[in-house]
């Protein structure tokens, strides 16, 4: 009841209050509407005297940047997260998707894991440092983006504005179960088109482009992708995501295309994948490319994060890589900034019904983020 009263009054005295409040704000992408989440955070930061900028770069879509100034003798440390969530979906929830309810040590709701718990934990860590007056050698930034699910729109906006081009390191609070993630697969999206000849089914029938494509699909799936013996990343994959063709049931389609998702290792260029697919006789178009990014295990920032996790958890964290991409690939590929992902949310929870975050991990994340900032910027 305490949390219910606080949310009704509009005040958030604890990080858990704020997390409940943000989970109750719908920010599913599409359409986004992250600005309401950003405004709630802005109010909390301003109340604490923290410098904050809200950038509404499209109607209802806003990035938030907060800055806790340091001495300026070391490059800034960026705490990165996104404000949008994936849609609720059509399958049944047993918990209210935007209820922010707590039961058995878990907080439930869309975005609880991915990644409003990370957003609030990072905010709470910065506010704790600000309240204690801990001296920092460099600025501590909160960079919260809109539209991560829309091909990292907000992250690209930060890059365009070169908001933190001089940052020394970036900590991302994507769900990781408080384990360390230091490598992401590269992502190549392709459109492959097969052509035929239009015709009416009552006549000669034409040349069916859909049937051509269907016969080629197994060959696309079995293309031998370049694979390195990477110690952290899974094997490369190639998968068909969508297929489109035909204008009417009684007209032979003269065009059919599929969109292809390819996950690749560091060092693999898009041209290598195009060369592998070229013999199939399809028209190939690159829709998007995000290179694989990684930070070395022995990098000082990785070690700082590792030590902070170990000091604030009962077990040593694992170090791994992931097949997904995050805003980190946008920032690191643009500015060559080292990154580490540590988040209180659960791996594999994104997009699931009855999404939750464990409150114990949420509280641990606050302590970990504070320890990382105070160590890195000491």
At 12, the pLDDT band (50, 70, 90 cuts) reads low
Q: Looking at the structure, tell me whether residues 213 and 113 fall in a common domain.
A: no
Using the predicted structure, report yes or no on whether residue 128 has a pLDDT greater than 90: yes
Percentage of the chain modeled with pLDDT above 90? 92
Q: Looking at the structure, tell me whether residues 309 and 197 fall in a common domain.
A: no
Of 255, 290, 325, which residue sits at a domain end? Answer: 290
- Going across the sheet that includes 186-195, the strands are 237-245, 255-264, 186-195, 283-290
- CA dist 230 and 214 (Å) reads 33
Q: Looking at the structure, tell me whether residues 48 and 194 fall in a common domain.
A: no
Over range 2-30, report the average pLDDT.
Answer: 78
Over range 319-345, report the average pLDDT.
Answer: 97
| 141-170 confidence digits (pLDDT tens) | 999 999 999 999 999 999 999 999 999 999
| 46-55 confidence digits (pLDDT tens) | 999 999 999 9
Give the burial class of 212: count Cβ atoms within 10 A of its Cβ; 0-12 exposed, 13-18 middle, 19 or more buried.
middle
Over range 60-81, report the average pLDDT.
Answer: 98
For position 17, which CATH number holds? 3.40.630.10
At 6, the pLDDT band (50, 70, 90 cuts) reads very low
- So what's the pLDDT on residue 3? 45
Q: Containing H/E element for 180?
A: strand 180-184
Q: Looking at the structure, tell me whether residues 283 and 307 fall in a common domain.
A: no
Q: Containing H/E element for 320?
A: strand 319-322
Domain of residue 241, residue span: 186-290
Q: How many domains does the chain have?
A: 2
Identify any residues that bridge with 79 across adjacent strands, giving them in sequence order.
142, 171
Q: Looking at the structure, tell me whether residues 112 and 253 fall in a common domain.
A: no
Q: Looking at the structure, tell me whether residues 192 and 329 fall in a common domain.
A: no
**How, if at all, do strands 356-358 and 106-108 pair?**
antiparallel
| 98-124 confidence digits (pLDDT tens) | 999 999 999 999 999 999 999 999 999
Q: Looking at the structure, tell me whether residues 27 and 157 fall in a common domain.
A: yes
> Of 261, 240, 243, 260, which Cα lies nearest the Cα of 323?
261
> Of 375, 326, 377, 367, which Cα lies nearest the Cα of 122?
367
Of 290, 323, 348, which residue sits at a domain end? Answer: 290
| 212-255 confidence digits (pLDDT tens) | 999 999 999 999 999 999 999 999 999 999 999 999 999 999 99
Q: Looking at the structure, tell me whether residues 242 and 305 fall in a common domain.
A: no
At 11, the pLDDT band (50, 70, 90 cuts) reads low
- So what's the pLDDT on residue 86? 95
Token pair of 182, please?
A: 């230091």
Give the burial class of 225: count Cβ atoms within 10 A of its Cβ; 0-12 exposed, 13-18 middle, 19 or more buried.
middle
Q: Phi, psi (5° rounding) for residue 330?
A: -70, -45
Over range 301-308, report the average pLDDT.
Answer: 98
- CA dist 20 and 50 (Å) reads 22
Distance of CA 70 to CAs 51, 173, 346, 376, Å? 12, 22, 32, 12
Of 228, 256, 290, which residue sits at a domain end? Answer: 290
Residue with the bigger pLDDT between 13 and 335: it is 335
Give 271's contacts (C-beta < 8 A, 6+ positions apart). Answer: none
Over range 271-299, report the average pLDDT.
Answer: 98
Q: Looking at the structure, tell me whether residues 103 and 114 fall in a common domain.
A: yes
- So what's the pLDDT on residue 9? 44
Q: Looking at the structure, tell me whether residues 69 and 124 fall in a common domain.
A: yes
At 7, the pLDDT band (50, 70, 90 cuts) reads very low
For position 247, which CATH number holds? 3.30.70.360
Q: Looking at the structure, tell me whether residues 247 and 368 fall in a common domain.
A: no
Q: Looking at the structure, tell me whether residues 89 and 155 fall in a common domain.
A: yes
């Amino acid at each position: 009841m305490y949390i219910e009263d606080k949310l009704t009054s509009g005040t958030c005295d604890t990080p858990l209050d704020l997390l409940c409040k943000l989970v109750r704000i719908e920010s599913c992408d599409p359409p986004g509407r992250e600005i309401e989440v950003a405004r709630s955070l802005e109010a909390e930061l301003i109340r604490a005297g923290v410098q904050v900028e809200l950038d509404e770069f499209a109607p209802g879509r806003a990035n938030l940047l907060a800055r806790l100034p340091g001495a300026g003798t070391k490059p800034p440390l960026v705490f990165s997260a996104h404000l949008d969530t994936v849609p609720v979906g059509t399958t049944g929830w047993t918990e209210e998707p935007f209820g922010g309810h707590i039961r058995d040590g878990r907080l439930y709701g869309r975005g609880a894991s991915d990644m409003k718990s990370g957003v609030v934990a990072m905010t709470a860590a910065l506010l704790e440092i600000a309240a204690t007056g801990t001296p920092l050698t460099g600025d501590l930034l909160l960079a919260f983006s809109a539209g991560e699910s829309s091909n990292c729109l907000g992250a690209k906006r930060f890059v365009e504005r070169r908001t933190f081009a001089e940052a020394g390191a970036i900590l991302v609070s994507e769900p990781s179960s408080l384990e360390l993630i230091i490598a992401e697969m590269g992502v190549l999206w392709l459109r492959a088109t097969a052509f035929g000849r239009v015709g009416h089914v009552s006549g000669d029938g034409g040349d069916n482009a859909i049937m051509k494509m269907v016969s080629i699909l197994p060959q696309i799936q079995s293309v031998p992708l370049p694979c390195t013996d990477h110690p952290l990343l899974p094997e490369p994959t190639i998968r068909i995501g969508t297929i489109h063709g035909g204008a009417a049931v009684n007209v032979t389609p003269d065009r059919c295309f599929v969109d292809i998702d390819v996950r690749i290792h560091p060092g693999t260029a898009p041209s290598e994948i195009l060369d592998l697919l070229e013999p199939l006789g399809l028209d190939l178009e690159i829709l998007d490319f995000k290179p694989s990014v990684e930070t070395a295990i022995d990098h000082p920032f990785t070690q700082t994060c590792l030590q902070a996790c170990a000091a604030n958890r009962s077990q040593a964290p694992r170090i791994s890589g992931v097949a997904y991409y995050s805003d980190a690939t946008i920032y690191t590929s643009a500015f060559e900034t080292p990154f580490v992902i540590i988040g209180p949310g659960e791996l594999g929870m994104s997009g699931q019904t009855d999404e939750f975050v464990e409150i114990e991990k949420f509280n641990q994340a606050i302590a970990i983020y504070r320890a990382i900032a105070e160590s890195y910027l000491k």
